[in-house]
Amino acid sequence: MKKLSARRRHPLAAVVVLLLALAATGGLYAAFAPASKAQADETAQSLAIEEGKKLYQVGCASCHGTGGQGSSDGPSLVGVGAAAVDFQVGTGRMPAATSQGAQVPRKKTIYTQAEIDQLAAFVASLGAGPAVPTTNEYSPEGADLGRGGELFRQNCAQCHNFTGKGGALTHGKFAPTLEGVSPKHLYEAMQTGPQNMPSFPDTTLSSENKKDIIAYLDAVNSDETKNPGGLELGGLGPVSEGLFAWIFGLGALIAVAVWVAARTAKAKKS
């Protein structure tokens, strides 16, 4: 029963409740919504919405309803904002497979960024919600790494591990690894709280805070990350270290011991 209802609420319920909160509190996000920009480029914008609507009807409407009102297979998208769409579609989570396990995993993106922008524009037109952040907001440049680390350990590490390697949640759900997630998507995930992840809106985790966190992750969890000690063994802590010590440490030593104790070959083979 629980599973069924959880699936039914998949995967954008987070953004739905977020919308209600925003409606109740007077829409702080309005300040961030690029209203002026939209007006300045109104024709291009409405064109994008038009294109997005077509894409939406083909790829999304079967679950989220033709008007984004939601159905038993997918939550309402009214008010989830462009950021949620950009994250969900941009990380390949949406469109979801027809039958999912405990949660919708990240997979190969099937839309181009241009198409995603059009989809986002369409969904944003259904109701006000957080906009896609600008490069300025999420770019790790000039951020405070130390502060970012502290904020990460305060807000994120409990699910995503010390350096964002991911971890387990209840009943097969999991916090995914943050390796290779783009700064923009990190920002959007914090902003919108996809699936079971809680959201960290700007009112409680400021834009500056998010930037610090992104910068920290960029420093400790990327291809360029320095692991002075050598192999990081998955960054999973003592379990992988213990396995390594048993297999390669004690294993090697036993192999050496076998050599030390073995009889030397005899001249005459019997």
The 3-class SS string of 50-74 reads HHHHHHHHHHCHHHHCCCCCCECCE
10 Å CB burial of residue 117 (0-12, 13-18, 19+) is buried
- With CB under 8 A as the contact rule, the residue among 149, 178, 181, 186 that binds other proteins is 149
* Beta bridge mates, 229: none
Q: Which is nearer to other proteins, 121 or 215 (CB)?
A: 215
Residue written as tokens 């490069």? 135
CA distance 146 to 37: 35
Among 33, 97, 206, 211, binds other proteins (CB under 8 A): 206
Cβ of residue 11: shortest distance to other proteins, in angstroms? 9
What is the rounded CA–CA span in Å between residue 110 and residue 4? 27
Chain positions 17 to 76 lying near other proteins, rule: CB under 8 A, are 17-18, 20-22, 24-26, 28
Closer residue to other proteins (CB): 45 or 173: 173
- Whether the CB-CB separation of 64 and 123 falls below 8 Å is answered with no
Return the number of the residue (101 or 180) whose C-beta is nearest other proteins: 101
Dig out the tokens for 213 from the structure. Answer: 């966190």
- Report the site for other proteins in 98-137 (rule: CB under 8 A): 101-102
The answer to the question of residue 220 lying near other proteins (CB under 8 A) is yes
Residues 241-270 that bind other proteins (CB under 8 A): 241-246, 248-250, 252-254, 256-268, 270
Which range of residues in 54-62, 80-88, 113-121, 154-162 is near other proteins by CB under 8 A? Answer: 154-162
Is 163 an interacting residue with respect to other proteins (CB under 8 A)?
yes
Among 4, 98, 112, 230, which residue interacts with other proteins (rule: CB under 8 A)? Answer: 230
**CA dihedral of residues 141, 142, 144, 145 (deg, nearest 10):** 40
Q: How far is the CB of 213 from other proteins (least distance, A)?
A: 10
Across the strands, what pairs with 167? Answer: 175
* Least distance to other proteins, CB of residue 126, Å: 19
